[in-house]
Amino acid sequence: MPQHRPAPALLPSAERRRAPDTVAVSLEVAAQACEMSGRSPKTLASVFASTHGDLAVSDAICATLAKAPALTSPTRFHNSVHNAAAGYWTIGTGCMKPYTSISAHYYTFGQGLLEAASQALCERAPVLFVAFDIEARGPVGTMQPSTGVFAAALVLAPEPGGRAVCRLCLEVAPRSEPKPSKARPENALLVEGNAMANGLPLFEALADGSEREVVQLLAAELVLGMRVSPFVP
């Protein structure tokens, strides 16, 4: 796993030093998605999806509680909550729009994407979707394993903007019909073992720039079918 690095400069220097890896990577991809879409972060509601949140911070807190409870860090505690990354994002950008923080175990990416798309359609407004997971550590990691780092973000809008790159058509279907998509082997190897790795096929499709069908798990008996088509003005 890469060494901890500061989060983007939208945070004050003191906050950047204290920000954990989950915050650093999620804010980085969120900022890039907003920049590429040409939309101001202040105008976007957001959905942050993470299977585990920051298990590295949680493991550190548990170890401290077991050995020296009085030394438990308040900063580490507030970084351990599942919506920490979303909170840092809204504070750093000055965004007053609502955010949603989602965890759905194996189905986190699909559920997060569906939530963001549903909000965009219902509110008739663009929504930022951010998905991320990092390496799990300590005893908790033996029960909820995750390796490496995966973070990605999209801005979803009900109508295409000036920098739209694709059209995304979604359909919920029984799992018995289409099979969940898999990333190409050479790409899958880069995120193998990460709890959010099943989100990679969608970003492969976006990078390919050609029409493609992608299927994402939503639940034990449901999938999210997606048709990714290049946007033609």
pTM for the model: 0.90
Is 103 part of any domain?
A: yes
User: What torsion do the CA atoms of 88, 89, 93, 95 make, to the nearest 10 degrees?
Assistant: -110
What pLDDT, in 10s, does the model give residues 166-208? 999 999 999 876 788 999 999 999 999 999 999 999 999 999 9
What confidence score (pLDDT) does residue 9 get? 65
What is the residue range of 213's domain?
Answer: 13-230
The total of structural domains in the chain comes to: 1
Is 5 part of any domain?
A: no
Is 226 part of any domain?
A: yes
What confidence score (pLDDT) does residue 7 get? 42
If one compares 74 and 98, the residue with the highest pLDDT of the two is 98
Is 218 part of any domain?
A: yes
Query: CATH code at 24?
Result: 3.40.47
Distance CA 113, CA 204 (A): 16
Using CB atoms within 10 Å of the CB of residue 195, give its burial: 0 to 12 exposed, 13 to 18 middle, 19+ buried: buried
What pLDDT, in 10s, does the model give residues 113-147? 999 999 999 999 999 999 999 998 888 888 888 99
Is 157 part of any domain?
A: yes
Is 224 part of any domain?
A: yes
Is 4 part of any domain?
A: no
Query: Average pLDDT of the chain?
Result: 89
What confidence score (pLDDT) does residue 48 get? 98
- Position 164 pLDDT exceeds 60: yes
Is 107 part of any domain?
A: yes
What pLDDT, in 10s, does the model give residues 54-71? 888 888 888 889 999 888
Distance CA 117, CA 121 (A): 6
